[in-house]
Chains A and B, each alone.
Chain A
Amino acid sequence: MSGQLLDHLANNLPALQIAVPLLSAAVCMVLRRGRTAWVLAMLVAWSSFASACVIFNRVVQHGAISYAEGGWRAPWGIELRIDLLNALVLLVVTAICAIVLTASPRSLDQEIWQENHSKFYALYLLCMTGLAGMTVTGDAFNIFVFLEISSLSSYALIAQGTTRRALTSSIQYLVMGTIGGTFILLGIGMIYMVTGTLNIADMAVQLAAVGPNRTVLVALAFICIGTGIKLAVFPLHIWLPNAYTYAPAIVTAFLAATSTKVAYYVLVRFLFSIFGAPLAFGALRLDAVLMPLAIAAMFAGSFVAIFQDNIKRMLAYSSIAQIGYMVLGLSLVSVTGLTGGLVHLFNHALMKSGLFLVMAAVLLRTGSVRLEAMAGLGRRMPWTMAAFVVAGLSMIGVPLTVGFVSKWYLVMGAIQAGLWPVAVLILLSSLLALIYIWRVVEVAYFRQPPDDAPEIEEAPFSMLGPIWVLAGATVFFGIFTSLSVGAASAAARMLLGVGQ
């Protein structure tokens, strides 16, 4: 009996990945006490992560999972389809959701009114629903709907920031995000006109038969720009620095590691699975557009980051540069390049959420995230700042950290493609990362705090734990690369249609 029940549960995991957070969000909304809502959200987030692990394991062992929503078979019904690519993304997203949520209570106590806590967790779960939904669905229109669910909740989450600047940042993001979402909707509509289907796998088959006519190319362009806005590809990134700077610290750690990653996944899915590499990079030469933009992002993002005194803003600009690396990997259109992009998705999620959680801890103890407030923090908050150094080294790409692994694949991809200058540019831009990380390290470790500085203690364990899980993961996956690189390279081979 219980075996049957477990079987039933296991077969419905893809749908539960969406349904459970969605329904729990409604429950959170009516709960009065913030802590009760947090316990519920924790339960949901960690069980989502557990089920993502089960799904990942099953996909690795038995191949892609197809789930017919409500028993209606694809291509008529809505299909949830999980292959190696989205299993990996789902794993990252749910892991980050759960870890950041674990660290949230103390930070929220500081930044958000007590009576709003349960609503905050409701929004958090809604955002998670949207992100998980975009990742698991096999239906193009579903991608738009879940994109809007996650976007609308993230606008509200960003607007919770303590200063009034959070409001203007949020509306700036809303306007751009809505234009992006609507572009994606328009693109999907055009593909539907040509193919008569919304199922991703079916679309791919039909589009291959149709070939590159003008409607298809225009659809591709609209979808590229739409996802480009959500992904914050240079020069469509202007919403990102403000949104990340003025959002509550927890929200920044959450969004920086999940929302742009899922947007990257959507872009990869559309370019490689639906349109196919020959169309996107042969008929339209998107690589010729994306590669210069990616390189520009790597330099512009890192360069601007060097001059920021607000460390949250500095990390936001560094995110733009890191997104550049991911897009560069994609635009190389080779197994090695795409592996590098996908591995960097995994790795950047770990290190950036770790760094932003460190900023949450610093904000909790010092009340500021400005550079001058960090003087002498290396001695006053040793564990927190040590985590910053570890994740920061990874951002630079030092060997034995995850950052090295992804840059290795990107450089190899560029060399294999015969693009020596690009390989050199990747290394040069890493030096810029060294400068902006070093600025913080120097102030934290080598500058004396002012004499009138108030006594501060180490961050609470509830935050230190998650921070070190992430910092530890950047080292662990930098040494044991079989999980991330194995899954990413298998996914890249699948996307490019190259045999094992």
Chain B
Amino acid sequence: MFEGGLYPYWIVIFLMMTGLYVVISRDNLVKKIIGLNIFQVSVIMFYIAMGKVQGGTAPIADAGITVFSNPLPHVLMLTAIVVGVATSAVALALVVRINEAYGTIEEDELREIERVEDAE
């Protein structure tokens, strides 16, 4: 863990709250997805920070390497990054289709259109 205190975790918390706030507060669907990305990246940073050892190198079985970082959380995040990319791809594809179907990607306008639709 970092000698300089827990500051990586403060960054993680800041990013996470930023992402969550963007998801909740923005009406534009693309901005929502970007918020979701920031949110996911914060968890990726969390895992990276957790596995890092101060002064450690890559874990290579070689003479002279005694201090190394824990590779497992780092490798796990390769999978999490793929998941994040896939999620964004599906989400953006949906946004394109929503734009084709409704002519807008603003959530408040979508809600209004659907409210009118329901009333009919």
B74 to chain A, nearest CB (A): 12
Stretch among B52-60, B61-69, B80-88 lining the A interface: B80-88
With most chain B CB atoms within 10 A of its CB, the pick from A168, A170, A174, A193 is A168
Inter-chain contact A189/B90, CB cutoff 8 Å: no
For residue B79, CB closer than 8 A to chain A, the reply is yes
For residue A171, CB closer than 8 A to chain B, the reply is yes
A314 to chain B, nearest CB (A): 15
Which residues from A are CB-within-8-Å of B36? 175, 178-179
Interface SS of chain A: helix
Inter-chain contact A167/B23, CB cutoff 8 Å: no
A76 to B36 alpha-carbon distance, docked (Å): 32
Inter-chain contact A164/B101, CB cutoff 8 Å: yes
Inter-chain contact B23/A155, CB cutoff 8 Å: no
Q: A141-B76, A159-B94, A182-B39 are in contact. Are A148 and B86 (CB under 8 A)?
A: yes
Partner of B87, one of A144, A165, A178: A178
B110 to chain A, nearest CB (A): 6
Chain B contributes a number of interface residues (CB within 8 A of A) equal to: 30
Contact flags A173-185 to B (C-beta < 8 A → 1, else 0)? 0110011011001
Q: Which residue of B lies closest to A158 (CB)?
A: B94
For residue A304, CB closer than 8 A to chain B, the reply is no
For residue A145, CB closer than 8 A to chain B, the reply is yes
For residue A54, CB closer than 8 A to chain B, the reply is no
Contact flags B13-51 to A (C-beta < 8 A → 1, else 0)? 000000010010000010010001001100100110010
Interface size class of A (residues with CB under 8 A): 20 to 34
Inter-chain contact A179/B50, CB cutoff 8 Å: no
Which residues from B are CB-within-8-Å of A181? 83
Inter-chain contact B83/A171, CB cutoff 8 Å: no
A144 to chain B, nearest CB (A): 8
**Contact residues, A455-480 vs B (CB, 8 A):** none
Q: A179-B20, A179-B39 are in contact. Are A145 and B83 (CB under 8 A)?
A: yes
For residue A186, CB closer than 8 A to chain B, the reply is yes
Partner of A170, one of B40, B46, B79, B94: B94
B86 to chain A, nearest CB (A): 6
Inter-chain contact B32/A175, CB cutoff 8 Å: yes
Partner of B47, one of A145, A148, A189: A189
For residue A156, CB closer than 8 A to chain B, the reply is yes
With most chain B CB atoms within 10 A of its CB, the pick from A148, A182, A192, A198 is A182
Q: Which residue of A lies closest to B99 (CB)?
A: A167
Inter-chain contact B91/A174, CB cutoff 8 Å: yes
Chain A residues at the B interface, C-beta cutoff of 8 Å? 141, 144-145, 148, 152, 155-156, 159, 164-165, 167-168, 170-171, 174-175, 178-179, 181-182, 185-186, 189, 192-193, 198
Which 8 pairs, one residue from A and one from B, show the smallest C-beta to C-beta distance?
A: A164-B101, A148-B83, A171-B94, A167-B98, A186-B43, A167-B97, A189-B47, A178-B87
Chain B residues at the A interface, C-beta cutoff of 8 Å? 20, 23, 29, 32, 36, 39-40, 43, 46-47, 50, 72-73, 76, 79-80, 83, 86-87, 90-91, 94-95, 97-98, 101-102, 110, 114, 117
New A-B contacts (10) at CB < 8 Å, excluding given A144-B80, A181-B83, A182-B39: A144-B83, A145-B79, A145-B83, A156-B90, A159-B94, A159-B97, A164-B102, A168-B102, A174-B90, A198-B72
